[in-house]
Structures are given as structure tokens and as C-alpha cells.
Amino acid sequence: MSKMSLRGNVCVVSGACGFVGKRLIRMLLVEEEDVAEIRLLDRSVNTQYLHSLEDCRGETKLSVYEGDIRDGDYLRKACQGASVVFHLASIIDVNDSVEYNEIYGINVTGTQLFLEACVHESVPSFIYVSTIEVMGPNPRGDPIVNGNEDTVYKSSLKFNYSSTKKEAELRTLRAHGEELHNGNHLATCALRPMYIYGEGCRFLLGHMADGIRNRDVLYRMSVPEALVNPVYVGNVCVALIQAARSLQDPLKRDNVGGKFYFVSDDTPAISYSDFNHTVMAPLGFSIRDKLPVPLFFFYVVCFVMETLCWMLRPFVRLVPPLNRQLLTMLNTPFTFSYQKAKTELGYEPRFSWDEARRGTVEWLASQLPAQREKIWSQ
């Protein structure tokens, strides 16, 4: 681990009330006890959430900045006197249910305005949370096994989510080295986490709810051999803090700046569906052995649904529950190494697979009664 610390820093966290944002803020408070201030940026910040941070806040000032990330004035105010920006806010949409203008405005325009605010307010460091999906998989479902930052992969991104995250990542990396108003230069980098799981993961809650409706049998949407390597939310936050330390280290700044890094951990490679079962089996859930229909026929069904929705688009916006690109993502082997992040950022997963799994299972267990009551009452 890098010996640099964030002592005295003013940290700006966008998406502060999101899944990763909440964990990052708590980790900054616990691990970086001398952080001067953390600024929580989100559309709205729950007062109850702020109260929950009092037990670990110490002397760190917590400031709330509620607003729209597409508002440049709002971002400039939030960046005044800041040391580092952790840019987590984005729209995650794997069903293409969000209008393109909306997702582009948040994911791309918001990021560009944030970078401009950093330049205007002379914020020296900017870390962007990207996603594995800027890499693919491509529509052909070409696999990657233990890929790295030098892996060549031909991909045409079909999801608006993937393409907008890719453009925002590129803008972030190109901004590295831009001159700030005080004459110094901006340092940027991007992290590409795998599928992030852990306490607070809404996707896991959704799969659990589907399983409850199906009499505690989880749906299988991916074949067992489609291996991916999910990453625990706590380890993603460790990587974020290490990136911030590295950008502030004069010996590392130029080497790390302008680059992206894959972030995974020691979670075993497993298919998406089997991962859901792994963390829910202790709660009494089983899983179907096979896909509901053969994969090829699944694609045909998705094509028909997509075509119907497209034909009806002039009259009503319908979103199919599953599309071909999502089906490809769920059924393509796609694993990556974190060795470059380890070598250059000093990232080491702090939470073992056993710890990550235990924490995730305990959290899911705490949510199960409310989920059952909610579904049974419908």
C-alpha cells in the first residue's frame, strides 16, 4: 500500500448516497481520520444517513451539496478549495429504459462539466469510476479470460450506458495534464470495476425478489461456463483511495495520471446466475439447472420483443425485460486481472472472498423479511 495519506484533504464525492458512495465515505472517515472535509454531492441527501455517520466522523467536516450534476455553477461551488474529486455519479441502465438525452446528460455532460469545474477551481486530482462494460462484451460475445489493460478487443458498444460511460472515461483521461487556473496541472485516472456486489447492492435485491416470487427458486439467465469475476464494494473503495493517494504522490502522479485500471479482487470466477445463488443459497434459495429455453431461442425471443417495442416507439415507449445485448453480457466469459492496479496504484484487496461473501449474505438476510412481506402483500 502507498504510504501517502489524504490528511488535510477536502474530498468531493459525487453520487454520495449511492451504493459505492456510501461505502467510500464511511471508509474515508474510518481509514483517513485526518481528512479535513468530505463534500457529499447528490440530488438529495437523507438527514438520517448523515446522522448514521456521526459515530465515525471524528473531526472531519461533512458538507452537503444537493443539486444536478448538469449544473456547472453547482459543481464549481462544490469544487471550491477541494483537493480531490471522486466522481461516482451516473445513470446505470442495462435495459436501455432511460432516454438517450437523459443518460448522456448525466454520464457525459455531467462529467465534462465536473472536469471544467476542477480546472476553474484548481482541483488537482480527479478520479472517475468507469465500468467493465466500456470494454464489452461485443455483440458477438467474444470472450476475454484474465484480460488486462493491454488486451485488444474489438467492440461496438450497443448499450447507451456503455457508450456514454466510455465517452466520459475518455474525456476524463484526455483532461489529464490540463492547466489549472492556479498554474498547476490536473491529474486524472479512471477505474473500471467488474460487477460490484456487497451490502446495499440493489441488483442482488432484485434477483432475490424475483426468487421469492418464484417460490425461492432463482432464475438462471447465464450458462455456468460464462465466467466473470465480480468485485466486492469494499475493495472498490480501497482502490479509489489508493488512486487518490497515487495522484497526490509526486513519484507516482505522472505514471498513474491519464490511465485506466481494471479493479477486481479474489472473488472466484463464476457466472452471474451462479454468483447470485452462491450468496443466496445460505438463505434457502435454490436455482434452476438450465436456462428457461436454449440460448439461441432466447436470442430469437429477445429479437422479437425488441422489434415490437421499436415498432411501437412512435406511439408508446415500451422496454423489453431482456434484450440481446444484456443476454450476451450475461453469457460471455469476461474476466480481468487487477495486477496493473496492484503494481502502479498499490491496490491490494483488503477484504477476502470469505469476508465479502459473509458480509453480503448477512446483509441479504437482514433484507429478506421485508422483501417477503412486500411481495406477499402485492
Q: Domain with 193 in it: what CATH number?
A: 3.40.50.720
3-state SS class at 258: coil
Task: Mark whether 161 is an active-site residue.
Answer: yes
What residue numbers bound the domain in which 52 lies? 10-201+230-266+334-350
Please state, in angstroms and as integers, the Cα–Cα distance from residue 16 to each residue in 21, 24, 112, 249, 375, following that order.
4, 8, 19, 25, 29
Q: How many domains does the chain have?
A: 1
3-state SS class at 313: coil
What predicted TM-score, i.e. pTM, was given to this entire model? 0.94
pLDDT band at 3 (very low <50, low <70, confident <90, very high): low
Name the DSSP class of 282. Answer: G
Cell reading at 329? 453480457
Tell me how many helices (H) and strands (E) the chain has: 15, 13
Query: Is residue 302 one of the residues assigned to a domain?
Result: no
Query: Is residue 134 one of the residues assigned to a domain?
Result: yes
Query: Is residue 207 one of the residues assigned to a domain?
Result: no
* 321 pLDDT higher than 90: no
Q: Which residue has the cell 458477438?
A: 140
From 161, 195, 272, 338, active-site residue: 161
Is residue 180 within 8 A of residue 251, CB to CB? The reply is no
The pLDDT tens digits for 214-263 are 999 999 999 999 999 999 999 999 999 999 999 999 889 899 999 999 99
3-state SS class at 280: helix
Is residue 126 within 8 A of residue 114, CB to CB? The reply is yes
Query: Who's near 366: CB < 8 A, 6+ residues apart?
Result: none
Query: Is residue 111 one of the residues assigned to a domain?
Result: yes
The pLDDT tens digits for 179-222 are 999 999 999 999 999 999 999 999 999 999 999 999 999 999 99
Query: Is residue 218 one of the residues assigned to a domain?
Result: no
